[in-house]
Amino acid sequence: MSNHEKLYTPVQGKTYSLFAEGDDSERYYTEIKRLADAFLQRCPDEKRLLGLIQKVGKKPFLLGWKTTEADRKTLQFVRETLRQSLSIYTQNVSEHLKSLPLAKRADSTLATTEEKYHLYMLEIELVNRIYREEFKRADYKFALIAHCLRDFRPDCRSVKGDIEAVCRGCTEDCFIRLGSVLLEKYGIKPYISVEMDQERLFRRLKQEHPRIGALGIACIPELAMGMRLCIRTGIPPVGIPLNANRCARWMSQAHETSFNLEQLEELLR
């Protein structure tokens, strides 16, 4: 039984929930790891598989003339298997897209399709596998934790840090506090991510710390995009998705959410 079981109240996000029909998100992590193993049986090169699914994410129907017949068959298998296996976690995407105002449809994050959610889920798992050891070897490691993980009952007492705000640990059940304590145990500097120019930040930190690693805790689309930005900047990334996307960007106001603390520790061990 999880030491944090009482904290994992099942919630629905605007588009997805890793609880699905269960009481925690463990089933999701078991499933995404099983799927990654199955796909790697067909395409053993992790980086090649990652590149292929990113290509599909950009061009769902036009895979490009350089894609081989074997790649096309692998991608077809991946897409169909992800849809069959992961749709239980993305039941609200279709309704969200139908209700999305025209002015917001240009926002690629808000307009993420159900298939892209599934591809991002696999992408996050593959990136963790590819970059985990390099991240752990970094001399300087930092984390950006989504601000919507805070305990909404009291006023947040976080204070300004050298990158973003840092947690003061004012309540026991706040997921930012819980995550920060766990991250510090593994020598990772935790910060609360609100709004920043991440590309500018990553490039500055890379110059200051040549051997650097980044960890993200965010909703699925934002985590996948943050990981891509890190890789382009030369920073090995790892990350854990939120159990559901419930911040004000998605809903009319922010609602509490959570992430899987046990999976975070497993990633860092």
DSSP letter for each residue of 201-224? HHHHHHHH-SSEEEEEEE-HHHHH
Task: Classify residue 71: in a domain, yes or no.
Answer: yes
Q: Give the H/E segment covering residue 146.
A: strand 140-146
Axis-axis angle for helices 69-86, 46-58 (nearest 10): 80
Task: Classify residue 252: in a domain, yes or no.
Answer: yes
Which amino acid is residue 193, in one-letter code?
A: S
- Structural domain that includes position 105: 11-268
The Cα–Cα gap between 241 and 233 comes to: 21
Q: Are 189 and 85 in contact (CB under 8 A)?
A: no
The confidence score (pLDDT) of residue 71 equals 87
Stretch 36-49: mean pLDDT? 96
Paired residues of 240 in beta bridges: 217
Tens of pLDDT, residue by residue over 206-257, are 999 989 999 999 999 999 999 999 999 999 999 999 999 999 899 988 888 9
Task: Classify residue 6: in a domain, yes or no.
Answer: no
**If you average pLDDT over every residue of the chain, what do you get?**
88
Task: Classify residue 3: in a domain, yes or no.
Answer: no
User: Phi and psi dihedrals of 200, rounded to 5?
Assistant: -65, -40
Task: Classify residue 5: in a domain, yes or no.
Answer: no
Q: Which tokens hold the place of 76?
A: 């077809």
6 versus 195: the higher-pLDDT residue is: 195
Q: Alpha helix (H) ranges present in the chain? A: 26-42, 46-58, 69-86, 93-99, 114-137, 175-185, 198-208, 220-233, 261-268
Q: Are 11 and 242 in contact (CB under 8 A)?
A: no
- Collapsing DSSP to helix, strand or coil, 241 comes out as strand
174 versus 263: the higher-pLDDT residue is: 263
Q: Are 212 and 206 in contact (CB under 8 A)?
A: yes
Q: Which tokens hold the place of 180?
A: 């920060």
Tens of pLDDT, residue by residue over 134-159, are 999 999 999 999 988 876 565 665 54
The Cα–Cα gap between 2 and 140 comes to: 30
Task: Classify residue 231: in a domain, yes or no.
Answer: yes
Phi-psi label, residue 166: left if phi above 0, alpha if psi -120 to 50, beta otherwise: beta
Q: Is 139 exposed, middle or buried (0-12, 13-18, 19+ CB in 10 A)?
A: exposed
Task: Classify residue 1: in a domain, yes or no.
Answer: no
Q: Give the global pTM.
A: 0.91
Number of structural domains (the chain) is 1
Task: Classify residue 67: in a domain, yes or no.
Answer: yes
- Give the dihedral of Cα atoms 3, 92, 55, 61; nearest 10 deg: 160
Most confident of 7-16, 50-59, 129-138: 129-138
Q: Is 120 exposed, middle or buried (0-12, 13-18, 19+ CB in 10 A)?
A: buried
Give yes or no for residue 42 having a pLDDT over 80.
Answer: yes
